[in-house]
Chains A and B, each alone.
Chain A
Amino acid sequence: MEMLVNTVRMVDYDQLKEYSFGDENSLKENLAIGIINPEDFEKLNLTTSLNLKLSNEDGKVIIKVKQKEDVPIGTILMPVSIWANQITGISNEQLIFKNIKVNAETTRDNVLDIEELLNIIKK
């Protein structure tokens, strides 16, 4: 399904906080997430045990999904983090952090750890 990703800053899912006080697990739990509307949650046939795979021409990432009613339909909100930056790109020397077009599909694969992610980027 075609969706739009917006990177946002949130108090609850803040990378500065996670890097200062968290460990690898809490980092993954609180930053590798996307917030979507419950209607989209049903449309994507998601359950709490399934993850969401986002892909576009810039890259791909697997995230956990949380629901919130205030999010507009067709939009995914992601906290600014290394996970969100797997699908961001550059156009015309400007970084694209808002309204990123992605293809979203459900997956059984696990969310990657930060170490695994860094190794993939290196290659």
Chain B
Amino acid sequence: MKGVKKLVNKRVKCTGCSLLCDDIIVRGDGLYIDEVIGACLKGKEKFEQITGKNRILSPLVRDKGELKKVSLDTALERSIEIMKESSKPLLYGFSTVSCQAQLKGIELAKSINGFIDSNSVICQGKVLNTAKEMGLTLATISEVINKTDLLILWGANAAESIPRLLNKILFSRGKFRMTGREIKTLIIIDPVKTASFGVMGVRDLSLNIDPGKDIELIRVLKEECCTPSGFPADGVAGIDQDDLKRLLIQITNAENAVIFIGQGILSSQTSVNVVHELLDLVHMINIKQQKGRMSIMMLGGHYNMAGFDQVALSLFGKNHSLQFFDNNLVETSETIISKLSKEDFDCSIIVGTDPISHLPWKLSKALMSKPLILIDNKKSATFNVADVILPSSLTGIECEGLAYRLDHVPIELQKIVNPPNNIISDEELLSKLISRLNPI
């Protein structure tokens, strides 16, 4: 086949999660993938999606409640009709597509006066929003491997959400951390004893915090950093005095500490306040500390969630929730959540995500009541309610693209095999929609 070389022992990138491992070995004859070596279960499943039984292989249009197979032209025409009839379209998703497709998505939103939002708004976007006022210290994965001596998993179950992360950051032996696991200390702060607790050693600290009390712990630590006056005798948030003392010694004495924020913090009720306090604590420690520094890493799930933040920030200085009118960005404080709860939209275009499963049912109900165009490669709950379905190829396996890793480092994704017949990438689908909307 043209463009695809024989792939024995080729190292490729994996798009199974936001870690974007670049050391996966794929073996095959160039047409099919036979073996995936080195990838975790999630990565292997991603590669298996090529032939997965729930793959969408042809465009579909809902006619009187029934989904019917149609040609791509008909499906595109139907989508254009829906878009032209609407005055307040909503675009959502974009966290599992390449940066090029995200750019096209923004262009499409511009040409139909739409509102565009990514999954990041209910995840790591909160941290980046807060960071605009307070600043944010980020670290890259190689920095963590080579320099870090203290890792804090805060409300994150890395062993199950990003399986290879602990392998890369905790057990690897880096340039200035030659002994690997022995020199790195791990602190896990979580109300539930998750699988990540299985890697704890004797020097590590496991803190079973009371659910929803993270903010109290951060405030006490902040107080102690400013004016050391001793912790309360009965502990804070379910953690006793001795553990608190050990925690404070660890975070103030570490040369290079990284806090990994997971969904435990990002999706709690008071997440905005918690993130604000946490960034403040990190800032405070960084000022106080003479030799080292503390940084933050956000553990999002989708492989290119950081990408949309970067693309939107570089274009408009706002990382999500962009409202366009007459080709210009309009100032708005609304997000996808407020738009959906007020039903302030009249059609939706969902790209590469599954909001019906991800969002509370009240918001799903609002989505279902209006026409819905879905661009995705596999069946999902949203598939069951969509009016037009445009199938796309798998970025990183069947087409090229750029994606941002969880530490905000851009990674070029490659093409390994050819997509199924007549299936084009997200980017091409979106540009076809744009060119049909504005014929020259």
Contact = CB atoms under 8 A, between A and B. Distances in A.
Establish whether A and B are touching in the complex (CB under 8 Å): yes
Interface of A: 4, 6-11, 14-17, 19-22, 58-59, 70-72, 75, 77, 80-82, 85-86, 88-91, 93-99, 114-115, 118, 121-122
A14 B380 CA distance: 13
Given A16-B45, A90-B341, A95 B161 contact: no
Nearest to A18: B54
27 contacts: A6-B192, A6-B211, A8-B157, A8-B263, A9-B157, A9-B161, A15-B357, A16-B45, A19-B354, A20-B54, A20-B55, A22-B54, A58-B360, A71-B193, A80-B358, A85-B360, A85-B361, A86-B361, A88-B360, A89-B362, A90-B360, A93-B337, A93-B341, A94-B337, A95-B122, A114-B381, A121-B365
B323 to A, nearest CB: 16
**Main secondary structure on A side of the interface with B:** mixed
A90 B335 contact: no
Given A21-B54, A72-B192, A95 B337 contact: yes
A72 B354 CA distance: 30
B405 to A, nearest CB: 18
A85 B45 CA distance: 24
Interface stretch (B105-113, B166-174, B267-275): B267-275
Contacts of B268: 97-99
A6 B263 CA distance: 11
A18 B357 CA distance: 12
A4 B191 CA distance: 12
Given A80-B358, A90-B337, A96 B385 contact: no
A23 to B, nearest CB: 8
Interface in B298-324: 301
B300 to A, nearest CB: 11
Contacts of B122: 95
Interface of B: 41-42, 45, 48-49, 52-55, 122, 157, 160-161, 163, 191-194, 208, 211-212, 263-264, 267-269, 271-272, 301, 335, 337-338, 341, 354, 356-365, 368-369, 378-381, 384-385
Contacts of B337: 90, 93-95
Contacts of A114: 381, 384
A96 B194 CA distance: 21
Given A10-B160, A20-B48, 10 more contacts: A7-B267, A8-B192, A11-B42, A21-B53, A75-B191, A94-B271, A95-B267, A115-B384, A118-B356, A118-B368
Contact of A97 (B54, B194, B267, B362): B267
A85 B211 contact: no
Contacts of A58: 360, 362
A71 B197 CA distance: 13
A121 to B, nearest CB: 5
A85 B385 contact: no
List 6 A-B pairs, minimum CB-CB distance, nearest first: A97-B267, A70-B193, A88-B360, A20-B52, A98-B268, A9-B161
Contacts of B45: 16-17, 20-21
A101 B356 CA distance: 22
A82 B381 contact: yes
Nearest to B271: A94
Given A19-B378, A94-B271, A97-B263, A82 B211 contact: no
A15 to B, nearest CB: 6
Nearest to A70: B193
B359 A72 contact: no
Contacts of A10: 160
